[in-house]
Amino acid sequence: MLEIIVPALWTLFAIYIVWYCTSAKHYVPITSTEAKMLWVLHKNDVRCNAKRWREVRRIGKIVGFECECGCKHIQKRPLVSSAPALRIDSENSMLAKLDSSKKASFERD
């Protein structure tokens, strides 16, 4: 009997670990401004003509929006995810390019 139960439990545990690492998600709180920006992006993406939207809340925090057309967006993130990569170098190089282009335009004038 034990030879059947132990492998079955290990299999269930392995399935749970795979689900947890790949599919399990939690809500990400966003601000009202971010929800409105997402709604405007939705309107532009699908050419939605709706005039109204409402915030979707979970445990008192805004986690998404619901459009008048019925579209609903909930901001979610996987429970297991890598930290966002730092892009400080690229931003600095972008600022350097911006500064050099400004300097060039000033020198031309």
**Residue 77 structure tokens:** 């993130």
Complex with Zn ion: residue 68 or 99, whichever CB lies closer? 68
The answer to the question of residue 56 lying near Zn ion (CB under 5 A) is no
Give, for 93, the enclosing helix (H) or strand (E): helix 88-108
CB count in 10 Å sphere of residue 69: 14
Complex with Zn ion: residue 60 or 70, whichever CB lies closer? 70
| Strand ranges of the sheet holding 53-58, from the earlier edge strand across to the other edge | 53-58, 61-67, 72-74
Q: Which residues inside 67-86 make contact with Zn ion, applying CB under 5 A?
A: 67, 69, 71
Amino acid in position 71: C
The answer to the question of residue 38 lying near Zn ion (CB under 5 A) is no
The answer to the question of residue 48 lying near Zn ion (CB under 5 A) is yes
- Interface ranges with Zn ion (CB under 5 A): 48, 50, 67, 69, 71
